[in-house]
Amino acid sequence: MARPAPDRHDVAQQDQPLHHVMVVGGTVAEWGELDDARWRERIEVLGSLAATAGARWLTLRPFERGEGADAARPVHHEVVELHGCSVIVDPVPDGRERLVVTLRKLAESDQLSEPAVAAALLSPATTEPDLVLVLGSPDRLPTSLVWELAYAELVYVPVAWADLRPEHLADAVEAYRHRHRRFGGLD
């Protein structure tokens, strides 16, 4: 369920809780280029770092589909529990498609409401991302993000998926901790 936006004056700038981190980078094709050992290592390192930062969830999503995605080794949706952090691997590169499919399913079951949509889109996480680390240029939003942008803090790092290092996520967490969050509002 989406948490209500707190009053901006109640948010401590240096001591912000971090519940859900999302890393968006690479393409489905680039993800498929990693062998199983390197993929597991990436999940382990990023999940451990997110857990150390206090996050309960870390979601990994590709930036976009990319050329050669059909020929690449498939990456499947999975949830891996690591050190108290659930790493959610979501290889769907189109957030608009994810939103439409979710809305159709909920409408068919007569359960269409904003809380139901949030719960379905974010599952198994129960909160929207606090921090989204986007690998790429700050002049492009990933198509894999639609719903998640309302209250998340975005940090851009101009590196390729293959060059993502733990320190990139650590630096993004540090930047997040020093931000004045407005939760979609203006000063």
Tens digit of each residue's pLDDT (9 = 90 or more) over 130-173: 999 999 999 888 877 777 777 788 999 999 999 999 999 999 99
Read off the pLDDT band of 76 (50, 70, 90). Answer: confident
Nearest to 43 by CA among 85, 100, 93: 85
Structure token digits, residue 36: 């199983």
Q: What is the pLDDT of residue 2?
A: 41
Indicate if the pLDDT at residue 8 is higher than 60. Answer: no
Each residue's pLDDT tens digit, 22-40: 999 999 999 988 899 999 9
Q: What is the pLDDT of residue 13?
A: 39
Residue 30 CB partners (closer than 8 Å, separation 6+): 62, 66, 72, 160, 161, 162
Q: What is the pTM of this model?
A: 0.82
Distances (CA, A) of 121 to 3, 115, 128, 158, 171: 14, 10, 9, 27, 27
Q: What is the pLDDT of residue 171?
A: 96
Structure token digits, residue 127: 């909160």
Residues in the chain: 187
Read off the pLDDT band of 103 (50, 70, 90). Answer: very high
Question: Would you list the domain boundaries of the chain?
Answer: 17-94+128-177
Topology of domain 17-94+128-177 in CATH is: Undecaprenyl pyrophosphate synthetase (3.40.1180)
Instruction: Find how far residue 148's CA is from the centre of its chain.
Output: 8
Q: What percent of the chain has pLDDT over 70?
A: 87
Report, in angstroms and rounded to the nearest whole number, the Rg of the chain calculated over CA atoms: 16
Q: What is the pLDDT of residue 183?
A: 61
Indicate if the pLDDT at residue 43 is higher than 80. Answer: yes
Each residue's pLDDT tens digit, 79-91: 999 989 999 999 9
DSSP assignment letter at 158: -
**What is the C-alpha to C-alpha distance for residues 164 and 158, in angstroms, rounded to an integer?**
10
Indicate if the pLDDT at residue 61 is higher than 60. Answer: yes
Q: When comparing pLDDT for 143 and 45, which is higher?
A: 45
Read off the pLDDT band of 187 (50, 70, 90). Answer: low
